[in-house]
């Protein structure tokens, strides 16, 4: 009897994990589908991601993030999988910029720092006190050995631009 109960518990846990993984995979597929047209920066600009939020962000130890471009109409205190507020671009040797990631953001004014973190893709947002917001990176377009939702990507760099915002992390 105990063995049967243990098996049922394990099965329930596996099903729950499978459902959350399935949901995450569906959300990631949606994100890639809606951002695919923006692989080149010119297409993103035309669609509204034209506000330069940061220079090319780099950290000597952790890697890079690239340039952050925002669609300010989407920065409204809510997040949706198919409407990332920021698109992140890595500068290329030919002068172009290539989409590497997105970032979802919620300003502290809309979701106070003292509240529980927002969640998307089953991931908790991280506090960013420098910019007074909650943020979640998703490296949908460039593999990240630090993880799909890590802030920094050691495979992203700013070596093809002089417009660099060096970051100091603690």
The torsion angle over the Cα atoms of residues 35, 33, 98 and 55, rounded to 10 degrees, is 30
Using one digit for the tens of pLDDT, what is the confidence trace for 58-73? 999 999 999 999 999 9
CA 68/CA 3 separation, integer angstroms: 53
The DSSP 8-state label assigned to residue 153 in this structure reads B
For 83-104, the pLDDT digits (tens) are 999 999 999 999 999 999 999 9
Report pTM: 0.85
Torsion 127-132-136-139 (CA) sign: negative
């Amino acid at each position: 009897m105990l063995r049967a109960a243990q098996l049922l518990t394990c099965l329930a846990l596996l099903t729950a994990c499978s459902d959350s993984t399935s949901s995450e995979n569906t959300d990631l597929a949606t994100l890639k589908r809606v951002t695919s047209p923006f692989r080149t920066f010119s297409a993103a600009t035309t669609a509204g991601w034209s506000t330069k939020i940061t220079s090319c962000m780099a950290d000597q130890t952790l890697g890079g993030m690239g340039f952050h471009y925002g669609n300010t109409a989407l920065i409204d205190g809510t997040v949706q999988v198919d409407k990332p507020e920021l698109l992140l671009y890595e500068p290329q040797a030919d002068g172009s910029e290539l989409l590497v990631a997105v970032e979802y953001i919620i300003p502290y004014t809309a979701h106070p720092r003292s509240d529980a973190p927002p969640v998307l893709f089953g991931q908790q947002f991280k506090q960013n006190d420098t910019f007074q917001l909650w943020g979640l990176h998703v490296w949908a377009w460039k593999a990240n050995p630090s993880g799909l939702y890590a802030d920094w990507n050691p495979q992203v760099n700013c070596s093809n631009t002089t417009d660099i915002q060096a970051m100091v992390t603690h």
